[in-house]
């Protein structure tokens, strides 16, 4: 029998607790029952913490905006002290490695009143745009279990889209929030660099590409959760000026007519993205135009610079090397090829050939590119509209190719041509599930704003959510 709570977003579930209609314990028991019933079809979770979750729900929870609401943490970076943190890595799973600290963001999730029921699957170290780690096997897309849910936050996306939890933690180093949002029909907000803290164990300077936030079903959940967790912690190297109003208030503000560029060609080419992805983008443009915004076919010239990837790859591979060094520190011995996946080993080997001067040169090139790219917003544009993905979600096994690791890695580039750029520049972006393909797969569109303008993204997202509603859509695998 279907669980009616599975139909509700997190804001609605929190209201049930505030009104006394449902207790936190009842919400958590219902979520655990859904996970037990449905996750065998999805493989979204890697580790469960059901007993701890029940104990926490029965205790005195913080009186935050989401008191008692079930939540999940992606098994990458967002740690709980003394609890498993495997990052999708076989050797860390084998050694049952436990995190020494609770991350700043996990602390803020808890302060918001959330109760964490488990950790969700990630490709090893978050490297791939599909969630098929060798340590756990593939996570399945609830809309079509033969297809990828995206990555690297694919476990969280499958759990939310399947109704197991109303929202879940996610991170984004090249599109890892927005890719699975598009694949699974969710709202995926990638925040500005520095909007949420990645400390104390990580660092935004050494790892400038990745941010952490969440995957949600509704725009209002994204806004309310960002209000709860945004802000700096001790030692954070980046700070952002506070917005004029709360993110929830931004949803209700009247939006002045915006100047929006639209891009449907693959960066650096004249080739269009998949026709159904283009059609969803053009349909969104018509809705925005009807709302009074000015839409033009235009995008930053810098987006077509193929050289930008020559700085991305050295940084990405150096991060793989750094990750392997961190794993060695955790297990107390050198990592050997069987400890990690073939792609990780290959990228780490590439990273070892990059000397310090070359890495600094790549970082400088990325910074210069970022200035050229962001000049477009300084010149008077408000948003850039693109498809989220270059094509529909491929079948499982197309992107994860351990026998020939670079084959799948290369295919990931045509799958995700529009998302990595904002990880280089630090700008916020959002994927919204406005479309459906003829084959019944969700299609996301992608909006990019100037740094610090999550409020604008959420305002426009709320406008689109009203005009192009998606709340009533349900995948074939759903609680």
C-alpha angle with apex 140: 136 to 146, nearest 5 degrees?
120
Identify the residue whose tokens are 């610090």. 452
Reduce the DSSP state of residue 341 to 3 states and report it. coil
pLDDT of residue 1: 57
With beta carbons less than 8 A apart as the criterion, state whether 199 and 103 touch: yes
C-alpha angle with apex 431: 458 to 288, nearest 5 degrees?
60
pLDDT of residue 33: 98
- Global pTM reads 0.98
Structure tokens given for 213: 């936030």
From the centroid of its chain, how far is CA 59? 30
pLDDT of residue 2: 79
**Dist. CA 14–CA 219, nearest whole Å:** 15
Question: What digits encode the pLDDT tens for the residues 225-265?
Answer: 999 999 999 999 988 988 888 999 999 999 999 999 999 99
Reduce the DSSP state of residue 433 to 3 states and report it. strand
Structure tokens given for 279: 């059609």
Strand partners of residue 381: none
With beta carbons less than 8 A apart as the criterion, state whether 57 and 27 touch: yes
**Dist. CA 208–CA 422, nearest whole Å:** 11
Question: What digits encode the pLDDT tens for the residues 114-145?
Answer: 999 999 999 999 999 999 999 999 999 999 99
Give yes or no: 411 in active site: no
Give yes or no: 74 in active site: yes
**Dist. CA 399–CA 412, nearest whole Å:** 6
Q: What is the DSSP string of 413-448?
A: HHHSSSSTHHHHH---EEEEEEEE-TTS-EEEEEEE
Give yes or no: 152 in active site: yes
**Dist. CA 119–CA 156, nearest whole Å:** 8
Select which of 74, 93, 190, 330 is catalytic.
74
Helix axes 454-467, 219-229, angle to 10 degrees: 160
* Cis preceding-peptide flag for 152 (omega within 30 of 0): yes
pLDDT of residue 234: 93
Non-local (6+) Cβ contacts of 64 within 8 A are: 111, 112, 113, 114, 228
Q: Along the 479 residues of the chain, how does pLDDT read in single tens digits?
A: 579 999 999 999 999 999 999 999 999 999 999 999 999 999 999 999 999 999 999 999 999 999 999 999 999 999 999 999 999 999 999 999 999 999 999 999 999 999 999 999 999 999 999 999 999 999 999 999 999 999 999 999 999 999 999 999 999 999 999 999 999 999 999 999 999 999 998 888 878 899 999 999 999 999 999 999 999 999 999 889 888 889 999 999 999 999 999 999 999 999 999 999 999 999 999 999 999 999 999 999 999 998 777 777 888 889 999 999 999 999 999 999 999 999 999 999 999 999 989 999 999 999 999 999 999 999 999 999 999 999 999 999 999 999 999 999 999 999 999 999 999 999 999 999 999 999 999 999 999 999 999 999 999 999 999 999 999 999 999 99
Question: What digits encode the pLDDT tens for the residues 376-407?
Answer: 999 999 999 999 999 999 999 999 999 999 99
Cβ neighbourhood burial of 234 (10 Å; 0-12, 13-18, 19+): exposed
**Dist. CA 80–CA 115, nearest whole Å:** 12
pLDDT of residue 67: 98
Say what percent of the chain tops pLDDT 70: 100
Q: Domains plus CATH for the chain? A: 4-467 (3.90.1300.10)
Reduce the DSSP state of residue 86 to 3 states and report it. coil
**Dist. CA 65–CA 88, nearest whole Å:** 31
Q: Work out the number of other CB atoms within 10 angstroms of the CB of residue 235.
A: 10
Strand partners of residue 70: 115
Select which of 77, 103, 152, 156 is catalytic.
152
Select which of 103, 121, 156, 176 is catalytic.
176
pLDDT of residue 182: 99
């Amino acid at each position: 029998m279907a669980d009616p709570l599975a139909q509700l977003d997190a804001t609605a579930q929190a209201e049930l607790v505030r009104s006394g209609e449902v207790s936190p314990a009842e919400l958590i028991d219902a979520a655990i029952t859904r996970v037990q019933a449905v996750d065998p079809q999805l493989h979204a979770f890697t580790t469960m913490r059901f007993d701890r979750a029940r104990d926490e729900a029965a205790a005195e929870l913080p009186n935050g905006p989401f008191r008692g609401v079930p939540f999940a943490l992606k098994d990458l970076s967002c740690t709980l002290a003394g609890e498993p943190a495997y990052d999708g890595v076989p050797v860390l799973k084998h050694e049952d490695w436990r995190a020494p600290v609770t991350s700043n963001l996990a602390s803020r999730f808890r302060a918001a009143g959330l109760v964490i029921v488990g950790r969700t699957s990630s490709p090893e170290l978050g490297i791939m745009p599909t969630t098929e780690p060798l340590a756990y096997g593939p996570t399945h897309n609830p809309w079509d279990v033969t297809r990828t849910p995206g990555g690297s936050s694919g476990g969280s996306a499958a759990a939310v889209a399947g109704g197991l939890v109303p929202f879940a933690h996610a991170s984004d180093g090249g599109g890892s929030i927005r890719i699975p949002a598009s694949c699974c029909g969710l709202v995926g907000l990638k925040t500005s660099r520095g909007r949420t803290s990645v400390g104390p164990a990580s660092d935004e300077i050494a790892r400038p590409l990745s941010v952490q936030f969440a995957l949600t079903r509704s725009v209002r959940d994204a806004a309310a959760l960002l209000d709860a967790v945004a802000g700096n912690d001790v030692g954070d190297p980046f700070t952002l000026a506070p917005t004029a109003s709360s993110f929830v208030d931004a949803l209700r503000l009247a939006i002045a007519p915006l100047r929006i560029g639209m891009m449907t060609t693959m960066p650096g080419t004249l080739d269009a993205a998949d026709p159904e992805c283009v059609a969803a983008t053009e349909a969104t443009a018509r809705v925005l135009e009807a709302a009074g915004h000015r839409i033009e076919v235009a995008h930053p010239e810098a987006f077509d610079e193929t050289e930008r990837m020559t700085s991305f790859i050295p940084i990405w591979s150096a991060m793989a090397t750094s990750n392997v060094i961190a794993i060695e520190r955790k297990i107390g011995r050198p990592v050997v090829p069987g400890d990690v996946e073939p792609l990780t080993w290959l990228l780490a080997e590439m990273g070892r050939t990059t000397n310090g001067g070359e890495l600094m040169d790549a970082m400088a090139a990325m910074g210069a590119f970022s200035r050229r790219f962001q000049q477009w917003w300084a010149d008077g544009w408000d948003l850039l509209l693109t498809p989220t993905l270059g094509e529909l979600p491929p079948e499982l096994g197309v992107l994860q190719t351990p026998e020939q690791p670079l084959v799948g890695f290369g295919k990931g580039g045509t799958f995700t041509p529009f998302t990595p750029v904002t990880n280089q520049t630090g700008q916020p972006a959002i994927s919204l599930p406005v479309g459906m393909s003829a084959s019944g797969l969700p299609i996301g569109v992608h909006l990019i704003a100037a740094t610090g303008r999550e409020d604008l993204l959420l305002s426009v997202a709320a406008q689109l959510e009203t005009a192009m509603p998606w709340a009533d859509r349900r995948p074939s695998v759903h609680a």
